[in-house]
Structure formats: C-alpha cells, structure tokens
Structure 1
C-alpha cells in the first residue's frame, strides 16, 4: 500500500476547486480518497454549520467523480472538520488517499499508513459515558487493523469525530425514557471529547485501563493520550476515526511523527517533532524544508488553572471571546511562525489529550 496526503486551500467552506483540479489533472484518483481532515472558518461551536457545508460539498464532488453513491461515501470516508481559523490560521483541508501498488516497501523503513473506521450510531444517552468509551476503543482497533498496524507504538495520531447532545436529541431520548449525561450542548461536546480520549488511551495502552473510569473524567489529568485528537459536533451520529501511523508494510515517501506539547508556549516540542522528520527550524523552516510538509495537526487547551508558566492568563474569563478561540489563535500563531505556513489544523478542547494545559502536535512530511 502507498499513502498520499494533499493539503488544499479553500476560498469558502464549500470550495472544493483545488481537489477538483487534482482529479481533472489525473494527479489523484477519486477512488483512492479515504479520509479528510480540515479547518473551516466557522466558530467551532455547536452551531458551526461550516463543517456540514464542507461535508456536503465534498461528498457530492466525490460521488460525482468516483461513481459511488453519496450515502456510501458518507458511511465510509471520514470527513472530520474543525471550525475556527483565528489569527493566521488558513482555511484548508488534508485529503488522505491510499492505493495498492506493486512497489515493495523499503526494508527497515516505515512509511505513512492510514486506517479508518466508524462506530455504530450512538443514542444521545451514551454520549460521554462508558459505552461511548468502549465504542471508540473498538473503532480504534478496527482502524489499526485497516491500516495494517499491529504495534500500537507505530500509531502517531488518532483523530476521532464524536457526536454531541443537542436540545432535540435530548428531547428524543427523554421521550424514550432515557436520560442524557448533560443536555447542555457545549458541555456535551466536552464529555464526548473526553470519552474519545479515554477510548484512544485504552486502545493504544497509553494509560492504565483500571484508572480510565467515568469518575476520572475531568479529574485525573495525568490520564491522557498524546496521540488522541478528539472533536465533537452535531453533524455526526457515530464516532468517525482516522488513524495515522508508520508501517514497514507501506511504501511511498511520507512519514508521520508526533510529540506532546507541554503548554501553549512549548516551541521546543514543535522543533522536536520537526527534528524527528529531519527538518530543522532555525528558528523558522527554510522554504525547502517547509515544502516537504504535507500536514500539521495540533491539539491545544487553555490552561484550566488560569496561569501559563506562572503568569495569569485571561482566556477563561473573557465573556466576549470563547477560550477555545483564544487558544487556537495563540497556538496556531506559534506553530505557523515556525513552519512558515498558516495551513495548520489546530483544534481546541484537548481534555486528556496530551499534557494538562498543553496538547500535542503531529507532522506528516516527505522523508
């Protein structure tokens, strides 16, 4: 197998012109597209419909070009969008593709491997609960098998898009005599992220299974996975999983590396992950090295203790701008300054995803 990753810009959330151009030129076969991760210019909240707008446009284009029914594409090609391109962040999307090739993998070298999976649809009363965690565990294991990865150590990034509870979904559950964990949509998204993070940690062995309980959610922040990136939204009803790692069974010229980010100022963590791929930031990547990068994926979180390296921050107390928008802009600026490119996937809400008050970074590059 061989993986490819195309990083494409967009003029608006429904703009797929760059992807269409790849199809037209024969550079990318639409039948090989297996997943998408992208940043849209919405607010990132419950009512951020830019994510659904992009998904609609993407599935329509892929259906047209591949000859597959749109419903089949929606059920088999994860399309994970994160809203919010604050500051220097640029709206863009990563198109992941894989194809069977006759070229043998290089002995002793591991290359980018991609796996995808979908959990069964979840009733709203399961969001954020143990049943949610277990569904993510099973989906991550399925994605590993889909990627042909046996060793969890070879997994570097797991993106999960989880459903959340809306007012309508809460009412539907109540009509059946079921109770949701929380009917507040924003809080539901947070619980979904934590359930996803616990599921990834369990599947990959990143934390002791006995400690990954519902009681530990939002309490024991030592429990985390620095390979988990979890988003939640109204546009999905199941858990969509995109798993990225390196495998000796794959060929091509791409590889992925990841590092935890200790906090929002951890420039060292960014430089370290670049170094893992043979890229040197001094202090910014050269144009030649920057051109080797095919994707940058970041999770971040405003420190819940209200201080950053001993100094007070006001992100949590700003009633005008949501804290997640603050942190996306801040960390996005830091990483973009090093990479020299604003096309960075930066997602907030990193509870139990990387160190408390920090997060993670993963980079895909030509090696």
Structure 2
C-alpha cells in the first residue's frame, strides 16, 4: 500500500484547477484518489452551502476523467470539508491517493483506512446509537489500514450529519424524538457522539461509560486523536483513519500532539516532531517545506481565560466562538509551519480534555 498526499489551493469553493493540473500532468491518477479533506470560506454553520458546492465541483472533475456520473464518484471517494477560513486560514484541499505500488521496507510510514457507516436517522444524531455505529466503522477502517497497534493511530477524521429543519420534520412525522430542535445546537451532540465512537473503538473509553447523559456533557471522557465535524450535506458518517504502518510504502509519516490552549506553539512543534520532522526552535524554510498538511481543532477556553488573561470568545454576540478560535489557532500554527493552508475546524467535544484540542501533521520523509 502506498498513500500519496497533495495539497491544492482554491480561489473559491468551485475552484478545482490545481487538482486538474496535477491530473493533466500525470502527477495524480484520478482512479487512485480515495479521499479529500479541505477548508472552504463558508460560515461553518448548519447552512454552509460551500461544503456541498465544493464537493460537487470536485466530483464533476474526477467523474469527467473516470467516465463516471457525479453520484458514483461520491460513493468511491470520501469528501470531508470544514467551513470557515477566518483570519489567515487559506481555502485548500488535501488529496489522498492509494495504490499497490512501492515496496514496504518495514519502517513506519503513512497508512490510511476508510469506512462509511450506515445512514444515521435524525433521532440517532448525538445519541449512544451513533456512538456505537461510529465505533464499528472506525474498527473497519483500522483493519483496512493494516495498523495492528492503536498507538500508531494519529488522526481519525469523522464527518457526519447534524440535524436540519428537514430531518427534524422527518423525525416528527414518524413520532421520533431528536436530541434538540436547534440545527446549529445539534452540532455539539453530533461531534461529541462521533468522537466518543472513536474513543470507544480505540479503547480510550469503555462501553459501560457511554450513556445518553454524558454526550456533549461529561468532557472527562475523550479521545486524543479524533477530529469530528458535522454538516447537513450527508446522512452517514465517513471515517478516515490515519496512522503509520510497516506495511506502507508511502513517502510520508504522520504524527500528532495536543494543543493545551489556543496559543500553544509547543503543541504544534510536538506534533511535527511526532511525525518525524527534526528541527530546533522553529522549522526553517527547507524543513517547513516537508510539512505537507496539518489538521487541528480549535476551541474557546471554557473558563474564558487563556494563561490568566480574559478573552471574549464565549461572550461575543456578534461572532461565534468557533470563528474566533479557528482564527487564533490558525495563526499560531501558520507562524510555525510557514503555510496558512491549514485544516482547522471548530468544536472539540470529547476531542482531548476540556480546553485542549488535537493536532496532527503529515510530513514528507
């Protein structure tokens, strides 16, 4: 197994020109594309249309090369988008390919596994049922990645559904009860349930700890390697699991760290070093050039303070705290990686401890 990684810039949510150029040059074989993780300049809310728009545009491009309709492309490739490129964050997409070429030399190199859950009913969003379904899906992805040791898993990206007015109405029509009637308010429940699913699959929590009253409430239960996002553009949960395996022939390695707060530069450095990047202080231009992609979560401090200083993220009525947090975390990461094309998404329910956030980095060997 050989995993390839390419990062492409986007001038707008419909811009697929850089991937088109890579395909035309023969650098990327469209038949080997298995996943895409990207940032769009949408609002990141329940009504963020840019995620679905970007997916459609990439599906049409790839489908044209493969001679497949857009719907079929969606069945074979996982598309994960996070809206919101506040501050210095730059819209982009990271493309992943998988092939059987190359020779594995037994060293730990980038591996990935993919799996998709069954459809999640509206009344299951943010519930124990979703936790268990995601856990089963993560286990399938782990097996596909040929990773035997859970300690070699460094990043599990899960994208699943949130509640929409239409899905809430569907539940109402069947007499089913949803965890909330607020679409944006359903995001913490959805993200939290998916994160606990990862934690359950990797043995970070036990099944008897998972009850309805802990989801999005008891943040003492968490996973250190998951990044979960919820959107209205899908109804199942897509799992992309990344780690290192001796069976991989990839030219890349992945590592992860924990951001203790929104300005934790040391946490960024630790993630890069975990991936195998050797540097002192801050990476120089040559070293930074080996950093292919960084994936992080952003969260406001639950106390409203960072290192003793008060901030207004949680009390600002004009700007949602997630947008504040994404901007702050993105700037800190970019100051070290020298590249603002970073995947930073908001909401860390059950993703690291309270006030903390996960970060993962892929580095060229």
TM-score (norm 2): 0.97
Instruction: Within 5 Å, give how 1:120-159 maps onto structure 2.
Output: 120-159=118-157
Structure 1 contact 130–214 (Cα < 8 Å) conserved: yes
Question: SS where residue 135 of structure 1 aligns?
Answer: helix
Distance (whole Å) between structure 2 residues aligned to residue 130 and residue 277 of structure 1 = 33
Flag the 1:138–1:13 CA change in 2: closer, same or farther, 3 A: same
1:90 Cα deviation after fit: 0.6
Query: Match for residue 161 of structure 1?
Result: 159
Q: Secondary structure in 2 aligned to 1:104?
A: coil
SS at match of 1:7: strand
- Aligned equivalent of 2:104: 105
> Within the alignment, does 1:89 sit opposite 2:114 as a pair?
no
Which residue does 2:185 correspond to in 1? 187
* Conserved 8 A contact 2:23-2:30: yes
Confirm or deny: 8 A CA contact 1:261 1:355 kept in the other structure: no
The correspondence for 1:251, drawn from 240, 246, 249, is 249
The structure-2 alpha-carbon separation of the partners of 1:245 and 1:277, relative to structure 1 and needing over 3 Å to count, comes to closer
The 3-state SS of whatever aligns with 2:353 is coil
Aligned residue for 1:22? 22
Greater shift in the superposed pair: 277-286 or 126-135: 277-286
CA distance in 1, matches of 2:227, 2:250: 25
Alignment-derived partner of residue 210 in structure 2: 212
Query: Does structure 1 conserve the Cα–Cα contact (< 8 Å) formed by 2:153 and 2:241?
Result: yes
Task: Report SS of the residue matched to 1:200.
Answer: helix
Task: Please identify, of 76-85 and 275-284, the stretch whose mean Cα deviation from structure 2 is larger.
Answer: 275-284
Task: Kindly indicate whether the alpha-carbon contact (under 8 Å) linking 2:92 and 2:341 is maintained by their aligned counterparts in 1.
Answer: yes
Structure 1, unpaired ranges of 5+: none
Q: Is the 8 A contact 2:257 2:274 kept in 1?
A: no
RMSD: 1.3
Which of 329, 351, 356 is the aligned partner of 1:353? Answer: 351
- In the other structure, the counterpart of 2:364 is 366
The answer to whether the 8 A contact 1:283-1:338 is kept is no
Task: State whether residues 3 and 97 of structure 1, in contact with CA within 8 Å, keep that contact through their aligned partners in structure 2.
Answer: yes
Q: Which residue is 2:113 aligned to?
A: 115
TM-score, normalization by structure 1: 0.97
SS in 1 for 2:147: coil
Deviation at 1:253, TM superposition (A): 1.6
**Contact between 1:336 and 1:344, CA under 8 Å: does it hold in 2?**
yes
Tell which deviates more after alignment, 298-307 or 65-74: 65-74
Moved over 4 A (4+): 280-283
1:212 Cα deviation after fit: 2.7
1:69 shift after superposition: 3.2
Q: Where does 1:311-350 land on structure 2 (aligned, <5 Å)?
A: 311-350=309-348
State the 1:75 CA deviation. 2.0
Q: CA deviation at 1:283?
A: 4.4
**Counterpart for residue 303 of structure 2:** 305
Does the 8 Å contact 1:296/1:361 carry over to 2?
A: yes
Contact 1:121 1:239 in 2 (8 A): yes
2-structure distance, mates of 1:309, 1:213: 33
**SS of 1:335's equivalent?**
helix
Answer yes or no: is the 8 Å Cα contact 2:258–2:267 preserved in 1: yes
Secondary structure of the residue aligned to 2:213 is helix
Deviations 1:283-305 (A, max 9, x none): 43211111111110001211122
Contact 1:262 1:356 in 2 (8 A): no
Structure 1 counterpart SS, 2:119: coil
Q: Is the 8 A contact 1:162 1:237 kept in 2?
A: yes
Q: Distance in 2 between matches of 1:119 and 1:252?
A: 27
Equivalent pair of 2:111/2:250 in contact (CA under 8 Å): no
Question: For structure 2, which runs of at least 5 residues remain unmatched after alignment?
Answer: none
Q: Secondary structure at the match of 1:120?
A: strand
**Does the aligned pair in 2 maintain the 1:117–1:240 contact within 8 Å?**
yes
Moved more, 328-337 or 70-79: 70-79
